[in-house]
């Protein structure tokens, strides 16, 4: 197989448009174990609906005026519109309006706490001597980074100011594709190859520093920078994300059903097409377009049924195509077979953790095996095993 070359340039720089106004939102909860709202409660835009126990994971908020229709471990469902009066002739119950939180002048620790309470995850903003802003589109078929750098520079720079306060870097580099004229205040610009997978963080760091190590470097994407910038501008919780859908970039409320977003973008999946959250190489197929958009989602892609041969459970045929395209120089065929047969220690021995999850191995696989999915399963299993071992040790102390 000829080594695939996927351009990260779309040539599209259309305006970031407002997404649909949903009649219902389904806010995904990912470890937000403390629910702060109950069924039938009225909510305003920005009302806190669930807290995350982690100190650096953002809390969840309502993006709309409405009434809570359901609360589960997986999501909070809110129906748009004012609450109905409890009794005829009485005013409808209302939720308190959400006041902006002033962020100027906060110390680093207080700023981290304030951002978490406003729905921003700060785990990626560790102190480091070098901050790299990844300004490349995350995958082929997406153009969100191009759109934000071209049209939302002021918001990005407000976000960058807050991130710099957390990271405290002596120097900041903006990494952009070769030929781009994008700049941000205070950043040195580094132009990189616009060919995938050069947009992956480890490869961006290697291009900027010349080292195959992330030590001493904090990387933030322009999509995350935009989210922080929106919070900096408004002082209100982060309840939206920007998605590439077809040839459009849409500013979408978190929890908006995927079907509504596709309709707004004029994209109509045919039967047996796959709807993927993310790009075509790294994204995750969804079972239903009723699911809500999650914070941090950056693309919604429809893969036509006839575009690629279907993934199968066939055995590896040792063709080696996955090895030829792997940017991490590991052996995806070996590793995925270890995972398939639950030999997780062997997968670790063959450096499964070095996989950058670019998806190229699965694209190149002659047998059409789900290689990246096997690797993700192996990593998750090893993490769970490590957590369980740590818990046992703590109980024994």
pLDDT attached to residue 391: 81
Spatial separation of the C-alpha atoms in residues 7 and 197, rounded to whole Å: 9
Spatial separation of the C-alpha atoms in residues 32 and 51, rounded to whole Å: 5
Are 292 and 257 spatial neighbours (Cβ–Cβ below 8 Å)?
Answer: yes
Tens of pLDDT along the chain (397 residues) come to 667 789 998 876 678 999 999 999 999 999 999 999 999 999 999 999 999 999 999 999 999 999 999 999 999 999 999 877 767 777 778 888 899 999 999 999 999 999 999 999 999 999 999 999 999 999 999 999 999 999 999 999 999 999 999 999 999 999 999 999 999 999 999 999 999 999 999 999 999 999 999 999 999 999 999 999 999 999 999 999 999 998 899 999 999 999 999 999 999 999 989 999 999 999 999 999 999 999 999 999 999 988 878 888 899 999 999 999 999 999 999 999 999 999 999 999 999 999 999 999 999 999 999 999 999 999 999 999 998 888 887 777 6
DSSP state of 342: T
pLDDT attached to residue 82: 84
In three-state secondary structure terms, 379 is helix
Spatial separation of the C-alpha atoms in residues 274 and 258, rounded to whole Å: 13
pLDDT attached to residue 1: 61
pLDDT attached to residue 325: 96
Alpha-carbon distances, residue 176 vs 8, 56, 146, 184, 345 (angstroms): 10, 28, 9, 11, 38
Q: Which two tokens stand for residue 353?
A: 């953790």
pLDDT attached to residue 2: 66
pTM assigned to the model: 0.92
Q: For 306, list phi and psi in degrees, rounded to 5.
A: -95, 5
- The single residue listed with the structure tokens 């709309």 is 64
- Residues 278-323 have pLDDT tens digits of 999 999 999 999 999 999 999 999 999 888 788 888 999 999 999 9
How crowded is the C-beta side of 181, counted as CA atoms within 13 Å? Answer: 3
Does residue 132 come out as left (phi exceeding 0), alpha (psi in the -120 to 50 range) or beta? beta
pLDDT attached to residue 13: 61
> Environment class of residue 34 by beta-carbon count within 10 Å: exposed (0-12), middle (13-18) or buried (19+)?
exposed
């Amino acid at each position: 197989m000829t080594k695939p070359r996927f351009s990260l340039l779309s040539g599209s720089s259309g305006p970031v448009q407002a997404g649909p106004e949903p009649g219902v939102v389904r806010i995904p909860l990912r470890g937000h174990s403390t629910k702060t709202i109950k069924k039938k409660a009225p909510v305003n835009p920005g009302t806190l609906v669930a807290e995350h126990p982690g100190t650096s994971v953002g809390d969840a908020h309502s993006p709309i005026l409405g009434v809570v229709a359901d609360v589960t471990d997986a999501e909070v469902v809110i129906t748009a519109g004012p609450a109905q009066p409890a009794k005829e002739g009485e005013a409808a119950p209302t939720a308190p309006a959400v006041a902006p939180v002033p962020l100027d002048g906060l110390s680093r620790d207080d700023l981290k706490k304030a951002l978490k309470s406003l729905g921003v995850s700060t785990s990626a903003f560790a102190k480091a001597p070098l901050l790299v802003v990844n300004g490349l589109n995350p995958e082929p078929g997406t153009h969100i980074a191009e759109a934000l750098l071209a049209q939302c520079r002021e918001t990005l720079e407000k976000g960058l100011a807050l991130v710099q306060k957390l990271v405290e870097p002596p120097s900041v580099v903006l990494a952009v594709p070769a030929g781009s004229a994008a700049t941000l205040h205070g950043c040195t610009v580094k132009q990189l190859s616009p060919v995938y997978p050069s947009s992956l963080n480890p490869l961006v760091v290697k291009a900027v520093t010349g080292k195959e190590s992330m030590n001493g470097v904090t990387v933030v994407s322009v999509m995350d920078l935009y989210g922080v910038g929106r919070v900096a501008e408004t002082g209100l919780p982060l309840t939206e994300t920007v998605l590439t859908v077809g040839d459009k970039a849409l500013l979408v409320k978190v929890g908006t059903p995927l079907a509504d977003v596709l309709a707004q973008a004029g994209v109509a999946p045919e039967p047996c097409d796959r709807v993927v959250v993310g790009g075509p190489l790294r994204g995750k197929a969804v079972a239903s377009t009723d699911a809500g958009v999650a914070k941090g989602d950056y693309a919604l892609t429809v893969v036509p049924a006839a575009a690629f041969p279907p993934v199968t459970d066939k055995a590896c045929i040792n063709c080696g195509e996955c090895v030829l395209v792997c940017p991490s120089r590991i052996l995806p065929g070996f590793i995925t077979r270890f995972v398939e047969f639950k030999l997780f220690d062997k997968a670790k021995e063959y450096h499964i953790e070095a996989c950058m999850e670019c998806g190229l191995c699965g694209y190149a696989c002659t047998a059409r095996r789900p290689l990246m999915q096997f690797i993700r399963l192996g990593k998750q299993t090893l993490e769970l095993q490590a957590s369980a071992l740590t818990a046992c040790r703590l109980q024994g102390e």
